[in-house]
A and B are shown apart, each in its own frame.
Chain A
Amino acid sequence: MPLPDEYRQSHTPLEDLQGLSIGLIAAALGLSFLTSLGFLTGQTAGLALIIAYLGGWSFGIVFWLVNLPFYLLAWRRLGPEFTLKSLGCVTILSVLVDLIPRWMAFETLNPIFGTLCFGVLTGFGLLGVFRHKGSLGGLGVVALLAQDRFGLRAGYVQLAADVLIFAAALFLFEPRVVGYSLFGAVILNGVIAFNHRRDRYIAE
């Protein structure tokens, strides 16, 4: 049910700035738990993690590079504003995920707690980014394009990408790594699915 006009409200630029900052810091922190454990996730970040682990490269740099092709699509499909915002958020996230381990490294990190914290923290971080008009671009853009061009449901396209990423991971990593990674991805997506609701968090 759309809200009557008197209930509509906007975030101020300062509020968006704090929302994006906290969201990106939380998402990056969660990802740093994941990289300390050597685990994976879905979407563009998952693809970047596989490449980074196999090549022994830094996740932040690979994540930034993997996202480049998607800006071309985004520019044509979703316009310059969305594209530049995605570029900004992806760049900040890439820098943070590479910097955080220099300041915060684990001597012991139980895989269950680490994965649980990754899912909750990165899930809420992304929620903060979405609620404050940010975006992390990536595969979501391809999914929207596929829905427009070929009538494929965007959600299924994203799911198919994750199935491919995890199927590839099964050949490349130990089953234990893939199992924990799936657990984390389920929590992450659960947090977003349960909470990303325009009818409950109503500010824009």
Chain B
Amino acid sequence: MTDTATPPRHSPLEDALGLVSGTTLCAFSLQILTTLGLITGQTAGLAVLLSYLTGASFGLVFFVVNLPFYWFGYRRMGLRFTLKTFASVALLSGLSMLMDPRVAFETLHPAIGILVFGVMTGTGLLILFRHGGSLGGIGVMALYLQDSFGWRAGWVQLGFDALLFAVAFLFLPPLLVVQSLIGAGIVNVVIGLNHRRDRYIAT
């Protein structure tokens, strides 16, 4: 990289539209996930599981579950990232609560639902990442723990998801947990193949 090649920046309007589009896709795909009774990974997965167990709305639980993580975000990634993440989480929570009574399925084939969930969430998260946002907590906490205690961030994230799915096996039918794993796999493939700073260069 030469120092003349500074990456172009998104304008605040572009970032705002990016966050709205990304969270809209995620909120819609969470309707699919919860209709099928499935879970996913990370803080969203924790919130889905807690909302199943308590009967509280996903949007509210998700908002609350993320609160402790902003501290890690602020320490590790700075104010801009933390504010964008807070805005994304708040938008997703709000959109989820608005959509819940307004989007309902008459027919939803599990295989198609899982595929659609994976593609929509993967795309939604990709948009959020490309606009400098995120949907919260675990990844940033993992980075912070790596810096502070030398724990490998990847293992912390994987450990969290492994624990979440292990707990899910106690409460949900095994078939649903396996289907959830497939959905989470698709999300990660979409992000893995497409989240490339060398190709989408704006920040």
Whether both chains belong to one complex is answered with yes
Nearest to B116 among chain A residues (CB) is: A29
B28 touches A117 (CB 8 A): yes
Contacts across chains A and B counted by CB atoms under 8 Å: 93
CB-based contact A110/B102 at 8 Å: yes
For residue A117, which residues in chain B have a CB less than 8 angstroms away from its CB?
24-25, 28
CB distance from B139 to the nearest CB of A (A): 23
Contact indicator B103/A104 (Cβ below 8 Å): no
- Which residues of the partner chain A approach B201 to less than 8 Å between Cβ atoms? 200-202
> Does B107 belong to the interface (CB within 8 Å)?
yes
- Distance in angstroms between the alpha carbons of A22 and B28 in the assembled complex: 17
Classify the secondary structure of A's interface with B. Answer: helix
Chain A residues in 8 Å Cβ range of B123: 22, 26, 121, 124
**Counting CB contacts under 8 A, is A100 at the interface?**
yes
- Contact, CB under 8 Å: B120 / A26: yes
Question: Chain A contact residues (Cβ within 8 angstroms of B): what range?
Answer: 35 or more
A110 touches B105 (CB 8 A): no
B106 in the interface (beta carbon within 8 A): yes
Cβ-defined contact, A22 with B119, below 8 A: yes
Q: Is B149 part of the binding interface, using a Cβ–Cβ cutoff of 8 Å?
A: no
Chain A binder among B57-65, B140-148, B192-200: B192-200
Known: A26-B123, A199-B8. A113 touches B99 (CB 8 A): yes
Residue of A nearest to B127 (CB): A124
Binary contact readout B89-118 vs A (1 if CB under 8 angstroms, 0 otherwise): 000000000110111111111011101100
In the complex, 16 of the A-B residue pairs with CB atoms within 8 angstroms, ordered by the A residue number, are A15-B193, A22-B123, A25-B119, A26-B123, A100-B112, A103-B107, A103-B108, A103-B109, A103-B112, A104-B105, A104-B109, A105-B107, A106-B106, A107-B106, A124-B25, A201-B200
Nearest first, the 7 closest Cβ-Cβ pairs linking A and B are A110-B102, A103-B109, A103-B112, A107-B106, A108-B104, A105-B107, A203-B199
